Amino acid sequence: KQTLLPLLREETSSFIFPCNPAVQRPELQHMVMELLRCIPLLLFLLFICGLDHFIFSTLSIIQHHSFIEYSYQTSHHLSVNVMGTSLMAELLRSTIGALNTSVNTELETSNLVCLPQPTGMTRQQYLNTCLPLGALAVLCLVQVYPFRLRRAIASFYFPKREKTRVLFLYNKLLRQRKNFLFLQRGRVARQARQPPGLGTLLLQRCRQRWPWLRRCLRRRCTLCGSRETPQHQPCSNPDCTAFYCEWCW
């Protein structure tokens, strides 16, 4: 409960609030990892679609530029003329005259049967191929919300275990805050021992010389780095240039 232990600004980012519809930082890290796992599938799908389009383009070029048509025409004429009016001439005309023939041959053929007949995929087929991967990416984005129910389901079936977890979390936060203050005090002390840089001195001179620039040249909190607001407090030591927000102060 927030009335028992209000969370600091730095601690809020490490927890998941189930009632918050936005994707929070711990969930964002898990979601990004799941999306990264979809990248190999996406690359494989793009490779397959590109290979399919390349093969179709190659076969289509072969089909259009390798077509050959053959045309064959022949003409054969045989005529035997027997002159005369004798009996032998009549007999020869009746027998050999049957050999008179006239043949005209026209033959057209092509290699159309041997050429490939490629069929390209339509946009709908490409869309149907990409739909499963798109659905997988959407599930990676939406799965953070069902995952929030895990703690509620576990606390319903194991209430004693839930109380133990809450107590452990409370003590863990107290230890982290104690260590956090110790570490931050040391960091601020080391930062105070270092001489201010040229940019810091120039910024301080500009703020002192032209007060109207303070709205643009806002200082930041020494601990959390938040921008200056009316609630920010400077250090009580006049020689110290440290600046703290309300929470850190």
- Distance between start and end Cα atoms, the chain: 23
- Which H or E run contains 234? strand 233-234
Least confident of 47-61, 185-199, 201-215, 223-237: 201-215
Q: Which amino acid, 201?
A: L
pLDDT for residue 236: 76
Overall size of the chain counted in residues? 249
Identify the residue whose tokens are 């990676």.
140
Return the top range by mean pLDDT from 1-15, 62-76, 122-136, 184-198: 122-136
- Among residues 2, 130, 133, 114, the alpha carbon closest in space to that of 62 is found at 114
Over residues 108-165, the pLDDT tens digits come to 888 888 888 888 888 899 999 999 999 999 999 899 999 999 988 999 999 999 999 9
Phi, psi of 86 (to 5 degrees): -75, 175
pLDDT for residue 168: 92
Q: Which residue has the higher pLDDT, 149 or 244?
A: 149
**pTM of the predicted model, to two decimals?**
0.58
